[in-house]
């Protein structure tokens, strides 16, 4: 737990240094901050609301092969675009829209986790446990799966905020 938390803390710190330094990689620094904060807060909120289900997997660092491939692909794409067409990375209004999506998505996901309390688990359950209660209050009154909705908007927001969109979408914003 300490090694993973330290890794996320160092990543967050490096992201802050990059974000506040005089560099053209500022957007990627903020991306590093939001990504490390997301993974650390997943563990922290799980420890608070449902310590019985807490494990190293609660960091969600080893979420899936697909998640890892998508993240690494976006980093490579960002780097290639940054080196070849840097003007794509300077649309501040697009970045602001993405920031709102990231913050709202993160807030909705954490609100869902806190509302569900001990009923929340990172592992999809196939059978109903005796202690499981259907939650219909709070954010669950408005969304069937608010933690998935929050994660969806968070993940799309990171791509918009940090200009990690596919090249053809970035090109549309410029034209």
CB 117 within 8 A of CB 70: no
How far apart CA 90 and CA 87 sit, in angstroms, is 6
pTM, full prediction: 0.84
CB 132 within 8 A of CB 66: no
CB 37 within 8 A of CB 105: no
pLDDT in tens, the chain (175 residues): 999 999 999 999 999 999 898 887 888 888 899 999 999 999 999 999 999 889 999 999 988 888 888 888 888 888 888 888 777 666 677 778 888 999 999 999 999 999 999 889 888 888 888 888 889 999 999 998 999 999 999 989 988 877 665 544 544 444 4
What dihedral angle (degrees, nearest 10) is formed by the CA atoms of 166, 168, 170, 172? -150
How far apart CA 89 and CA 163 sit, in angstroms, is 6
Look up tokens 């939650």; give the residue.
135
Local structure of residue 126 (DSSP, 8 states): S
């Amino acid at each position: 737990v300490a090694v993973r938390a330290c890794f996320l803390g160092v990543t967050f710190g490096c992201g802050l240094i990059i974000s506040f330094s005089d560099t053209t990689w500022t957007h990627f620094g903020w991306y590093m901050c939001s990504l490390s904060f997301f993974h650390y807060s997943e563990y922290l909120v799980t420890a608070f609301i449902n310590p019985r289900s807490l494990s190293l997997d609660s960091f969600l660092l080893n979420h899936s092969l697909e998640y890892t491939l998508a993240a690494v692909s976006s980093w490579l794409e960002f780097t290639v675009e940054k080196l070849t067409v840097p003007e794509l990375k300077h649309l501040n209004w697009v970045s602001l829209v993405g920031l709102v999506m990231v913050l709202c998505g993160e807030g909705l996901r954490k609100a869902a986790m806190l509302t569900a309390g001990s009923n929340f688990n990172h592992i999809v359950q196939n059978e109903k446990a005796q202690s499981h209660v259907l939650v219909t209050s709070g954010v669950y009154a408005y969304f069937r799966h608010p933690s998935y909705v929050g994660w969806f908007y968070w993940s799309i927001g990171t791509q918009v905020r940090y200009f990690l969109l596919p090249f053809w979408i970035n090109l549309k914003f410029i034209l």
